[in-house]
Amino acid sequence: MSTGLALTAGFGNNLGRLICFQGLVYGVGAGIVMSTLTPILPEYYTRRSGVAQGAAAAAAGLGGAVYSLSIRHMLYSLGPRKTLGILASTHFAINTTLSVIAKRPRKFEKRSIYVAKFANFREPKVSLMMLINFISSLAVMIPMCFGPEISNTMGFQGSAPSMILAGMSVLGVPSRLLVGVLADKMGHLNTFIAGTMAYTLSA
């Protein structure tokens, strides 16, 4: 993530480099961080792992609100290059610090070292799980990522799009905490199924 932002700030002066640095490099880094941290978070908690995940997701919602409001002002006052440089430095400092101070996962008597084979992905339950993840990501990410553009097409100007995006991020905070509580009460898989149904209906 930090590398993608830094390269975009330093060399992203045309569309091709922007797609490469901001899209590919940053996207891979974000995928590694977000797709890795969320699944392993319960390993640090023997009880109420769902609440821990819910709190982490809620904090991400608050961070999204702060980002959407502050980045707009940074872009206008500092410009894109300095803004991306600040974001790259901030990401690098935070991620490096967390990597150093993070505790080791809980020890298990025996860990599975089984590597999934390609044939496993052809099983119906795995294929359906992948399809559900794909659909839910569309329902979650598209409104959040393209909120400002949608706001502009609806006639909102000035700071209104960033305010709308911040509001959408804040509104997700209590629901994410609630999902974490339900995961501890109902089980993670049952909560996942219920959440997917809610995402589908909202989309």
Residue 181 has pLDDT above 80, yes or no: yes
Q: Which residues contact 144 (CB under 8 A, 6 or more apart)?
A: 64, 165, 168, 169
14-40: pLDDT as tens digits: 777 777 777 777 777 777 777 677 777
Instruction: Select from 109, 110, 111, 106 the least CA-distant residue to 47.
Output: 106
**pLDDT at residue number 106:** 64
CA torsion sign, 160 to 164 to 169 to 173?
Answer: positive
**pLDDT at residue number 172:** 78
129-179: pLDDT as tens digits: 777 777 666 666 665 666 666 666 777 766 777 777 777 778 778 888 888
Task: Please report, rounded to a whole number, the percentage of residues in the chain having pLDDT higher than 90.
Answer: 0
Q: What proportions of the chain, in percent to the nearest 5, are helix, strand and coil? A: 85, 0, 15
- Alpha carbons 134 and 163: distance in angstroms, whole number: 28
- What residue spans of 79-159 are helical by DSSP H? 80-101, 124-145, 147-153
Residue 46 has pLDDT above 80, yes or no: no
CA torsion sign, 153 to 154 to 160 to 164?
Answer: negative
- Alpha carbons 28 and 22: distance in angstroms, whole number: 10
**pLDDT at residue number 158:** 64
**pLDDT at residue number 195:** 76
Task: Please report, rounded to a whole number, the percentage of residues in the chain having pLDDT higher than 70.
Answer: 74
- Alpha carbons 22 and 7: distance in angstroms, whole number: 8
**pLDDT at residue number 149:** 66
How confident is the model over 63-91, as a mean pLDDT? 83
**pLDDT at residue number 138:** 64
Distances (CA, A) of 88 to 26, 67, 71, 93, 98: 10, 13, 13, 9, 15
98-112: pLDDT as tens digits: 878 877 766 666 666
Residue 114 has pLDDT above 80, yes or no: no
Q: Note whether 33 and 95 are within 8 A (CB).
A: yes
Q: Note whether 86 and 74 are within 8 A (CB).
A: yes
Q: Which amino acid is at 162?
A: S
Residue 6 has pLDDT above 80, yes or no: no
